[in-house]
Amino acid sequence: AQSVTQLDSQVPVFEEAPVELRCNYSSSVSVYLFWYVQYPNQGLQLLLKYLSGSTLVKGINGFEAEFNKSQTYFHLRKPSVHISDTAEYFCAVSEYGSARQLTFGSGTQLTVLP
Amino acid sequence: GAVVSQHPSWVICKSGTSVKIECRSLDFQATTMFWYRQFPKQSLMLMATSNEGSKATYEQGVEKDKFLINHASLTLSTLTVTSAHPEDSSFYICSASVAGDSTDTQYFGPGTRLTVL
């Protein structure tokens, strides 16, 4: 079975500063990896996903993520954050052949300060 | 593309009543839909996996007689919370996978806030 660990429950950062949200995973088989964002009282929006190929994945809103298979991480980064990026971010993993079930991390609250 | 809607967005009901929540894929067909529950400041907990035309698969600890799931078409799944109690108050979110998409990407609805008085 797979598991996902988001290492930081809260990340405060000043506007226009870079940010990295960390996600480690474990699985005995190949996986797909996802980052979702959740704004207050809303559902989840897909930011980006890693399926195969290049280990640097670009997503929406200027976010990108680096997949490292040997160290089993999928960290999310943005070079310059905005106030509007304040939200909860979830990392998730799906194992090949898992009937599409996602396992979510516990989430990281990103708060962008003026 | 890949838009999922939920209705209602919020509902308040009395203890003992039943509440139905709809989840629709608006611009694609979804052979598989998922229902999650989210408590404040927590992650999503998968409740059940729903496949069109067949019975839902419930996660361990989820009462199938209390949380009735129907997936009658390729664009609609419903979750009915029967005899709701205050402890059922939560944020319920559905998601759907695009039929024929082997990448397992799930697209999420906006959620339904249920408050049981």
pLDDT (tens digit, 9 = 90+) per residue, A37-65? 999 878 889 999 998 888 899 999 999 99
B28 touches chain A (CB under 8 A): no
Instruction: Please give the structure tokens belonging to residue B31.
Output: 């052979």
Q: How far is CA B103 from CA A59, A87, B33, B70, B106, in A?
A: 16, 26, 15, 24, 9
* B97 in contact with A, Cβ within 8 Å: yes
Ramachandran assignment for A27, one of left (phi > 0), alpha (psi -120 to 50 degrees), beta (any other): beta
3-state helix, strand, coil in chain B (%, to 5): 5, 50, 45
**pLDDT tier at B105, thresholds 50, 70, 90:** confident
Tokens of B60: 């361990």
Q: What is the pLDDT of residue A99?
A: 55
A22: contact with B, CB 8 A cutoff: no
d(CA B35, CA B25): 13
Q: Quick check: B95 contacting A, CB < 8 Å?
A: yes
d(CA A111, CA A88): 9
Question: Under an 8 A CB cutoff, do B34 and A32 touch?
Answer: no
Q: Does A43 contact B93 at a Cβ distance shorter than 8 Å?
A: yes
